[in-house]
Structure 1
């Protein structure tokens, strides 16, 4: 089974036997790959009870919880990596969630859909409507996305907070693309972050 492209990037950059917390882990697809291929000690936090059940059925250690409320309970530096994949834009307080991620993990992976991609812009410009795309398949009224972040917004946020970027990858149609003009041409971004020194 092949991983979703952003998850594959994350999996490729996590070392063997790492301790990992996957926040918003879904059905545990990434955790299972890390356990099976990297012998990682992977734990998960997931809000959807159906996804929790699916992950537990895979033999994974996943608890039901909400990133906005439950990350405060985790001790500092308790994981090598904390992962937040396609969850940032659904958090009520994404800045607080990111602070916790960088507190809990020595490093943090964050991936999100880029709301400044040219197709999104074109949909708003010509159609005057919120876009529906492969990465953003819901209508405006049933989307879980409540914060529409762009790559440039995220970079500015990191710079203002002094958060170190150890790696950044950009995807278009599921394939890696260059960082040049990523804010306009990348559909998805993956960042590897480290706490300020």
Structure 2
């Protein structure tokens, strides 16, 4: 299944995100799809969870699971939430499909004490080789679309994202990169992690 942003089930980043969440906290999942992450967090961490989803199908599926999810657009509807409304605001495998990622992150920073973002890494070595040797836009497990039908309109690399966080005054509390079905923690995103990561998960907070 997928949501309106192309989010797919069975992703390794969901468990990694769950590991970053404190029990019993308030969570907003932006682009929550069918509610897989919210359901996981409710089961494992007993959270007070809310969701925003673009597609009506995703909203219906989430509500059918007993989740508090409303239809909305990350690019336009986050402004309706008050400051510090949540402990964590999550954007999983969705930021690359937003029209204005910088503005979305700024709103997430405003309404959440912590921000968690996962995304496919366009700087991965497989992507680079595909471009180098075939001269065509790559398709990988994380980037599983042809160039003409992809919902991903703002692809970025691990280094791009880290730079944007610094620009927005978001401190990296934790960062994990995914290679295949394995993940490892990185202390400081650099060229090597940018080369190896197929996906990345960042836990962020406002800089003091």
Shorter-normalised TM range? over 0.9
Q: Aligned to 1:189, which of 193, 197, 200?
A: 200
1:35 deviates by: 1.0
What do residues 110-149 of structure 1 show as CA deviations (whole Å, max 9, x unaligned)?
0100001011111111000001111111100100000011
> Which runs of 5 or more structure 1 residues have no equivalent in the other structure?
none
Instruction: Give the alignment of 1:31-42 within 5 angstroms.
Output: 31-42=38-49
Between the aligned partners of 1:42 and 1:149, the Cα distance in structure 2 is 28
Equivalenced residue count is: 196
Pair 1:173-2:177 in alignment: no
| Residue in 2 that maps onto 1:90 | 97
Between the aligned partners of 2:88 and 2:53, the Cα distance in structure 1 is 16
1:4 deviates by: 2.4
Instruction: Give the alignment of 1:99-138 within 5 angstroms.
Output: 99-138=106-145
Between the aligned partners of 2:52 and 2:166, the Cα distance in structure 1 is 28
Between the aligned partners of 1:177 and 1:15, the Cα distance in structure 2 is 20
- Whichever structure has more helix as a proportion of its residues is 1
1:196 deviates by: 2.4
Between the aligned partners of 2:10 and 2:84, the Cα distance in structure 1 is 27
> Which runs of 5 or more structure 2 residues have no equivalent in the other structure?
1-8
Q: Aligned to 2:61, which of 49, 54, 63?
A: 54
Give the TM-score of the pair, scaled to structure 2. 0.91
Q: Please say if residues 177 and 186 of structure 1, whose CA atoms lie closer than 8 Å, have aligned partners that are also in contact.
A: no
Q: Secondary structure of the residue that 1:183 maps to in structure 2? A: helix
1:3 deviates by: 5.6
Give the TM-score of the pair, scaled to structure 1. 0.96
Which 4+ runs in 1 deviate beyond 6 A? none
What do residues 46-67 of structure 1 show as CA deviations (whole Å, max 9, x unaligned)?
0011111111110000001000
